[in-house]
Chain A
Amino acid sequence: MSDFPSPTHTDGLPTAANSARPMTRTYMAVLVVEALVLLALWGFSWYFAN
Chain B
Amino acid sequence: MHLVDWFIVAAYLIWVVYDGLKRTKASSAIEGYFLANRSLPWWAVGLTVMATQMSAITLVGTTGQGYADGMRFVQFYFGLPVAMIILSLTLVPFFYRAKVYTAYEYLERRFDVRTRTLASLLFLMSRGLQAGVIIAAPAVILSIVLGFNLTLTIIAIGLPTTLYTMFGGVQAVTWADVKQMVVIVAGLVAVVFALVLGLPEDVGLGEALHIAGATGRLTTIDFQFDLNETYTFWSGLIGGLFLMLGYFGCDQSQVQRYLTAESIKAGRRSLLMSAFVKIPLQALILLTGVLVFTFYLFQAPPMLFNPAHEAEVQSSSRAAEWAALDTEFQSVLDVRRTAVRDAVTARRTGDPAATRVAEAAFVEHQRSLTTIRGRAVSLVKEVTHDDSYNDVNYVFPTFVTTELPIGLVGLIVAAIFAAAMSSIAAELNSLSTSTVIDMYRRHIRTDASDRHYLRVSKIVTGFWGLFASIVAVYAANLGSLIEVVNRFGSFFYGSLLGVFILAVGTRRATSPGAVWGLAGGMVTVTYVAVTSSISFLWLNVVGAVAVFVVGMAISTLFPAHERTVS
Residues of A bordering B, CB below 8 Å: 1, 3-14, 18-20, 22-23, 26-27, 30-31, 33-34, 37-38, 41-42, 44-45, 47-50
Q: Is the CB of A48 within 8 A of B275?
A: no
Q: Is the CB of A38 within 8 A of B78?
A: yes
Task: Check if B385 is an interface residue, CB within 8 A of chain A.
Answer: no
Given A22-B88, A23-B88, A48-B213: A6 and B78 interface contact (C-beta under 8 Å)? no
Q: Is the CB of B560 within 8 A of A6?
A: yes
Which A residues are CB-close (under 8 A) to B563? Answer: 7-9
CA distance A6 to B564 in the complex (A): 12
A23 to chain B, nearest CB (A): 6
Task: Check if B106 is an interface residue, CB within 8 A of chain A.
Answer: yes
- Residue in A6, A38, A49 whose CB lies within 8 Å of B213: A49
Which B residues are CB-close (under 8 A) to A12? Answer: 94-95, 97-98, 106, 109-110, 504
Question: Which size bracket describes the interface of B in this complex?
Answer: 35 or more
- Quick check: which of B48-56, B264-272, B372-380 contacts chain A, the rest being far away? B264-272
Q: Is the CB of B272 within 8 A of A10?
A: no
CA distance A6 to B561 in the complex (A): 7
Q: Residue among B214, B275, B508 with the most chain A CB within 10 A?
A: B275
SS class of chain B's interface: helix, strand, loop or mixed?
helix
12 extra A-B contacts, CB within 8 A, seeds A1-B558, A12-B109, A45-B220? A7-B561, A7-B563, A8-B511, A8-B561, A11-B564, A12-B94, A27-B89, A30-B84, A31-B81, A38-B221, A42-B221, A49-B218
Task: Check if B179 is an interface residue, CB within 8 A of chain A.
Answer: no
Q: Is the CB of A41 within 8 A of B268?
A: no
Which B residues are CB-close (under 8 A) to A38? Answer: 78, 221, 279
Which B residues are CB-close (under 8 A) to A45? Answer: 71, 213, 218-221
Task: Check if B412 is an interface residue, CB within 8 A of chain A.
Answer: no
Which A residues are CB-close (under 8 A) to B97? Answer: 12, 18, 20
Q: Is the CB of A10 within 8 A of B561?
A: no
A-B pairs under 8 A by CB, number: 135
B372 to chain A, nearest CB (A): 25
Contact with A along B89-125 (1 / 0, CB 8 A): 1000111111000000010011110000000000000
Contact with A along B532-566 (1 / 0, CB 8 A): 00000000000000000000000000111111111
Q: Is the CB of B93 within 8 A of A20?
A: yes
Task: Check if B280 is an interface residue, CB within 8 A of chain A.
Answer: yes
Task: Check if B74 is an interface residue, CB within 8 A of chain A.
Answer: yes
Which A residues are CB-close (under 8 A) to B565? Answer: 10
CA distance A19 to B112 in the complex (A): 24
Report 5 cross-chain contacts, Cβ distance below 8 Å, ordered by A residue: A11-B566, A13-B504, A30-B272, A33-B276, A42-B220
Which A residues are CB-close (under 8 A) to B93? Answer: 14, 19-20
B83 to chain A, nearest CB (A): 11
CA distance A41 to B559 in the complex (A): 49
Q: Is the CB of B219 within 8 A of A8?
A: no
Given A5-B559, A20-B93, A48-B218: A10 and B564 interface contact (C-beta under 8 Å)? yes
Task: Check if B283 is an interface residue, CB within 8 A of chain A.
Answer: yes
- Residue in B209, B264, B560 whose CB lies within 8 Å of A48: B209
Task: Check if B510 is an interface residue, CB within 8 A of chain A.
Answer: yes
Which B residues are CB-close (under 8 A) to A14? Answer: 93-94
CA distance A31 to B275 in the complex (A): 9
CA distance A8 to B566 in the complex (A): 12
Task: Check if B210 is an interface residue, CB within 8 A of chain A.
Answer: yes
Task: Check if B243 is an interface residue, CB within 8 A of chain A.
Answer: no
A24 to chain B, nearest CB (A): 10
CA distance A11 to B512 in the complex (A): 17
* Nearest chain A residue, comparing its CB with the CB of B90: A14
A2 to chain B, nearest CB (A): 10
Q: Is the CB of A48 within 8 A of B210?
A: yes
Contact with A along B182-209 (1 / 0, CB 8 A): 0000000000000000000000001001
Q: Is the CB of A30 within 8 A of B560?
A: no
Contact with A along B274-291 (1 / 0, CB 8 A): 011001100100000000
A49 to chain B, nearest CB (A): 4
A30 to chain B, nearest CB (A): 5
B366 to chain A, nearest CB (A): 15
- Residue in A3, A6, A11, A37 whose CB lies within 8 Å of B98: A11
Q: Is the CB of B275 within 8 A of A30?
A: yes
Q: Is the CB of B510 within 8 A of A5?
A: yes
Which B residues are CB-close (under 8 A) to A47? Answer: 213
The 6 A-B pairs of least Cβ separation, nearest first, read: A48-B213, A7-B563, A11-B109, A41-B220, A12-B98, A4-B558
- Residue in B264, B507, B562 whose CB lies within 8 Å of A20: B264
